[in-house]
């Protein structure tokens, strides 16, 4: 089997592309928030605390969505839950364009977050269960690489559409994935592994939750919850504030959008290198190495002052952080059996999303208190290092291992 067979098999290629596009739409919606937050803050004269709340409210919904969707996907199947979560966030995103006040906008973003948080862990589980062991890690990282396409689309919309037509236009575009759900309904199938299991074994929500914390899974669950929390905390704290941070460093709104667009391009090679290394050196190597390099990039970016240094540090930050994300999504489903796989992934992602709630709001609080950008990014440096240490000491290597039943 060649290293690229997963892309040459028509059925697997179709699944990867279909799930990947839904992933792209997720990323586009989340990415737009970082740009819309900067635009709304100017138009509505929001305080830093309000900007922090606005960027955090999406993650509160993702906490709820990830946990619920993981539990529901182990009970009713990966495909229906994937479709309903896609429809939910698309509808809420489109309605966000009609919001005339800050409170209404936050409520709609909470609902959108429930759909977004639910879709991501279910999509990664579906792909993980549908691909052979020797190509599984690479396939899931390639799935995650669609995230960079979504952020790139968000950056292009922010640069070309929002300044001309307003932030509402960004939310209208975010409703397009609802139409894609009609195609997805026919394009994907339940993984045979889940279908076979579902005919012989049904467990309650409580039993699946307890199983995730059973002695044989407890070490992995502790490690994953630490890893997810630190990665999500640092990612949403840094990237949702990236356009605003560029403005704090003295750049105009349009100029900051342009620089973030350039930094976003670096996400793609980050994913592709991680996809290569993850089957060559293993999951732990990719996650630990890329996280430590992300931590160093965070310190560099926080202390950079010139345009060239900011761009270089931002490129490295995007490259290594998103490569680590690819490893994270590939690694997590491999640590649980089929009966509780989506539950385990969903709960880990849900706990991690708590970090996504805290971080943007924390940054808003610190900015309001005139805490410097170097000190803020030092916090993210420390969080990322903690995640890398957890994987190094508590993680087990799953490269080439068949998924357990």
- The predicted-structure confidence for 212-271, as pLDDT tens digits, reads as follows 999 999 999 999 999 999 999 999 888 877 777 777 777 766 677 677 777 878 888 999
Q: Give the per-residue pLDDT at 254.
A: 62
Cα dihedral: 304, 305, 306, 309 (round 10): 0
CA nearest 259: which of 316, 299, 317, 307? Answer: 307
- What is the CATH number assigned to the segment(s) 7-394? 1.20.1250.20
Residue 2 confidence (pLDDT) above 60: no
What pLDDT digit, counting tens, does each position of 103-123 carry?
Answer: 999 999 999 999 988 888 888
**Structure token pair of residue 5:** 């067979």
Q: Give the per-residue pLDDT at 199.
A: 44
Among all chains, which residue has been given the structure tokens 């575009």? 173
Residue 189 confidence (pLDDT) above 80: no
Q: Are 360 and 56 in contact (CB under 8 A)?
A: yes
CA distance 172 to 169: 5
Any idea what the Cα angle at residue 160 is, between residues 158 and 164, rounded to 5°?
A: 95
Q: Looking at residues 164-174, what average pLDDT do you find?
A: 90
Residue 135 confidence (pLDDT) above 70: yes
The residues, ordered by sequence, that sit 6+ positions from 178 with a Cβ below 8 Å of its Cβ are 86, 87, 90, 91, 94
Would you give the distance in Å from CA 78 to the centre of its chain? 18
CA distance 118 to 98: 24
Q: Give the per-residue pLDDT at 4.
A: 40
Question: Angle, to 10 degrees, between the axis of helix 205-212 and the axis of helix 215-239?
Answer: 90
CA distance 131 to 227: 24
Burial of 125: CB neighbours in 10 Å, binned 0-12, 13-18, 19+: buried
Q: How confident is the model at residue 192 (pLDDT cuts 50, 70, 90)?
A: low
What pLDDT digit, counting tens, does each position of 271-323 carry?
Answer: 999 999 998 999 999 999 999 999 999 999 999 888 788 889 989 999 999 99
Residue 153 confidence (pLDDT) above 60: yes
Q: Give the per-residue pLDDT at 197.
A: 54
The residues, ordered by sequence, that sit 6+ positions from 256 with a Cβ below 8 Å of its Cβ are 38, 243, 244, 246, 247
What pLDDT digit, counting tens, does each position of 209-222 carry?
Answer: 888 999 999 999 99
Q: How much of the chain, in percent, has pLDDT values that exceed 70? A: 93
Q: What does the mean pLDDT of the chain come to?
A: 86
Whole-model pTM above 0.75?
yes
List C-alpha distances in Å: 197 to 105, 192, 281.
42, 8, 31
Residue 3 confidence (pLDDT) above 70: no
Q: Give the per-residue pLDDT at 215.
A: 94
CA nearest 23: which of 325, 290, 254? Answer: 325
For 210-215, which contacts have Cβ atoms below 8 Å and span 24 or more sequence positions? 211/339, 211/340, 211/343, 212/336, 212/340, 212/343, 212/344, 212/347
Q: Give the per-residue pLDDT at 308.
A: 84
Q: Looking at residues 9-30, what average pLDDT do you find?
A: 84
Any idea what the Cα angle at residue 58 is, between residues 319 and 377, rounded to 5°?
A: 45
Using the 8-state DSSP alphabet, how is residue 203 labeled? -
Q: Looking at residues 115-132, what average pLDDT do you find?
A: 86
Q: How confident is the model at residue 17 (pLDDT cuts 50, 70, 90)?
A: confident
What pLDDT digit, counting tens, does each position of 53-105 carry?
Answer: 887 888 889 899 989 988 888 888 888 898 899 899 899 999 999 998 999 99
Q: Give the per-residue pLDDT at 306.
A: 82
């Amino acid at each position: 089997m060649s290293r690229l067979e997963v892309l040459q098999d028509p059925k697997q290629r179709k699944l990867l592309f279909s799930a990947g596009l839904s992933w792209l739409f997720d990323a586009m919606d989340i990415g737009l928030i970082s740009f819309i937050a900067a635009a709304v803050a100017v138009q509505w004269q929001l305080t830093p605390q309000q900007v922090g709340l606005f960027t955090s409210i999406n993650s509160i919904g993702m906490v709820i969505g990830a946990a619920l969707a993981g539990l529901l996907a182990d009970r009713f199947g990966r495909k229906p839950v994937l479709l309903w979560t896609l429809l939910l966030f698309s509808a809420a995103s489109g309605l966000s364009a009609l919001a005339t006040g800050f409170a209404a906008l936050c409520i709609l973003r909470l609902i959108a977050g429930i759909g977004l948080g639910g879709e991501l862990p279910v999509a990664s589980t579906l792909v993980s269960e549908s691909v052979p062991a020797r190509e599984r890690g690479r396939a899931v990282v390639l799935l995650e690489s669609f995230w960079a396409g979504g952020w790139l689309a968000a950056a292009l919309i922010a640069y070309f559409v929002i300044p001309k037509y307003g932030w509402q236009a960004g939310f209208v575009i975010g409703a397009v994935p609802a139409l894609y759900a009609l195609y997805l309904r026919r394009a994907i199938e339940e993984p045979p592994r889940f279908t076979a299991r579902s005919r012989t074994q049904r467990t309650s929500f409580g039993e699946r939750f307890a199983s995730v914390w059973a002695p044989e899974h407890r070490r992995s669950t502790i490690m994953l919850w630490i890893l997810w929390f630190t990665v999500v905390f640092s990612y949403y704290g840094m990237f949702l504030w990236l356009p605003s941070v560029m403005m704090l460093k003295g750049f105009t709104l349009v100029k900051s959008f342009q620089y973030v667009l350039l930094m976003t391009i670096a996400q793609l090679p980050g994913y592709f290198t991680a996809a290569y290394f993850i089957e060559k050196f293993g999951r732990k190597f990719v996650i630990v190495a890329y996280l430590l390099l992300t931590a160093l990039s965070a310190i560099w970016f926080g202390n950079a002052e010139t345009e060239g240094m900011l761009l270089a540090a931002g490129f490295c930050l995007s490259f290594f952080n998103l490569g680590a994300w690819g490893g994270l999504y590939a690694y997590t489903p491999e640590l649980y059996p089929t009966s509780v796989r989506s539950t385990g992934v969903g709960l880990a992602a849900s706990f991690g999303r708590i970090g996504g709630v805290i971080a943007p709001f924390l940054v808003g609080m610190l900015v309001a208190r005139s805490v410097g950008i170097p000190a803020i990014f030092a916090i993210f440096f420390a969080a990322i290092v903690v995640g890398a240490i957890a994987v190094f000491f508590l993680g087990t290597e799953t490269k080439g291992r068949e998924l357990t039943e």
